[in-house]
A and B are shown apart, each in its own frame.
Chain A
């Protein structure tokens, strides 16, 4: 179903949502975009390429209280108190949420905290008209205008949005300000889609990477690759599909909270055992783990790679490591 809405009406629509929903949208703080709960539509800045930190944190927060306890009484914190709207997410990041579903809402394990947030969130995506030279979503089955993982997809055609209603959940929140899009408008949106997609020049070959990695666990390749790595967590924390966490208690006397925090396989502490032994003692083993998890183990488990081609790790690595180059080198190794 293709609808349309003027940008002015869109602003009013967002404002009206605030009475029933917590709305998360891109906000510009000192030049860095993040998804934050907004109090007014004016706080939103949709003129952005993508957020620095991926919106996975709306479902899988960096720090999340699981339950609180006091003298044997336990209160779970799994439920969100209000329904939520995630507005303005890029199609690449929406696709990443589908990958995370495999882990947190899959056959093996149902994570109540994640599922509760997923089920109570309506996702309104904004098609990407400004892909960068570091973007390669099309190599992983995505597109700047992919509908996967969205309830509604907005396509900016100038003074209005074409509104592609993907799910019933999305349909339910529409108001009468959303009117039928004309044939010309739909055609214009299609044209924008085609032209933007053509602008993604960066291509990554993923076929054969998994099989190659099957044979590379002991390869000297990892020594070489990890040499320049600093061992920080920029790549994993800014990755929309990385999902490792660590559980800790914040306790005082007989009361406290159990919290889970993002963790990174690039940190030495990640695999440090109580005995003092660390099965991944150097950057080499850690770097290998990160690449293997994304392009071997994840494919083994869920039939797809844990990468959606957003390019955040490339743009933000302090020493300029490029995952596209790494994948190419794996294939030619």
Chain B
């Protein structure tokens, strides 16, 4: 990891010195333990701020829809790179604007889970090759990285960047065996009432801060439907019906567009299981159109295109 970090700094310095980019988006050390924080590097003197560790959890592609005409280098894990592809396919950024500093990713650490498994506040953290060491006033605990990855990282099948201009670090082995839809399959087995209860329990935690929307690279609408006042699609209150509408429409708008990076879920302060709905929709898109988001820069998302061979057995003919 040290070596990857050194190379990120070196490449960033070179890009800035050569004037090939206006700035570099990467990670710096977080203000909190178990966290890194996104950082924008404009000057080569600042490249030493850049870090790489197992806490670089944010999907930095979320910043790319705000860069205007600038040329930007961005540190990209597998999921970030897929979001970049999806944004290019949807015409939101131009390929030539972006220098992708691709990093094969081992998965990022689920800080909340670690915090919940210790008694008291964590005051010191050390990262070793496959372990995280945490210390507090009255405890010391070792966590095996592999067992404490974010839920989205545990089912990830694209740890390696799908596009990159500069690749740093060794390619990692993809976990082809992982059943990424296991949680969805379990959910589908439940009765309608059970599913409805679970859905309601989750969405009723929502405080409408829209951190999920803001953290998502694909939520780039200039005006979100919730903010539209004429016509007004949704009420402004904190009630079950408005919350349900928000979460259903949010998930639907992600059909064929979500890379399941988990950025929404990590941003949510109320720890809502936001991925179970998008995951379900990803599964449908995979089944109907054999499509996974952000893998090919030349293939538009299925719901933005039409093919006569598209399956249409979901259409109710009314007969």
Contact = CB atoms under 8 A, between A and B. Distances in A.
Interface string B116-151: 100011010000000000000000000000000000
A132 B120 CA distance: 9
Contact of A230 (B35, B207, B211): B211
Interface string A227-240: 11011111001100
A250 B271 contact: no
B58 A319 contact: yes
B116 A29 contact: no
A208 B278 CA distance: 48
A232 B236 CA distance: 16
Nearest to A31: B116
Contact of B271 (A30, A133, A232): A30
A158 B311 CA distance: 66
B270 A232 contact: no
A321 interface: yes
Contacts of A130: 120-121
Chief secondary structure at chain B's binding surface = loop
A283 B214 CA distance: 12
Identify which of A52, A227, A246, A268 gathers the most chain B CB atoms within 10 Å of its CB: A227
Contacts of A228: 37-40, 63
B123 A133 contact: yes
Interface string A185-202: 000000000000000000
Identify which of B35, B58, B121, B237 gathers the most chain A CB atoms within 10 Å of its CB: B237
A268 B269 contact: no
Contacts of A320: 30-32, 35-37
A48 to B, nearest CB: 13
Nearest to A224: B40
B209 A246 contact: no
B205 interface: yes
Range of interface residues on chain B?
Answer: 35 or more
A248 B232 CA distance: 11
A316 B269 contact: yes
B237 A52 contact: no
Given A52-B270, A259-B236, A321 B209 contact: no
Contacts of A250: 235, 237
A322 interface: yes
A315 interface: yes
A6 interface: no
A232 B210 contact: yes
Interface in A109-168: 130, 132-134
Interface in A314-331: 314-316, 318-322, 324-325
Nearest to A238: B269
Interface of A: 29-32, 52-53, 62-63, 130, 132-134, 224, 227-228, 230-234, 237-238, 246, 248, 250, 259, 261, 264, 267-269, 283, 314-316, 318-322, 324-325
Interface of B: 30-32, 35-40, 58, 62-63, 66, 116, 120-121, 123, 205, 207-211, 213-215, 227, 235-239, 266-267, 269-271
27 contacts: A30-B271, A31-B116, A32-B205, A53-B207, A62-B207, A63-B238, A63-B239, A133-B121, A227-B40, A230-B214, A230-B267, A233-B208, A233-B211, A234-B211, A234-B269, A237-B209, A259-B236, A259-B237, A269-B227, A315-B32, A318-B58, A318-B211, A318-B214, A318-B215, A318-B266, A320-B32, A320-B37
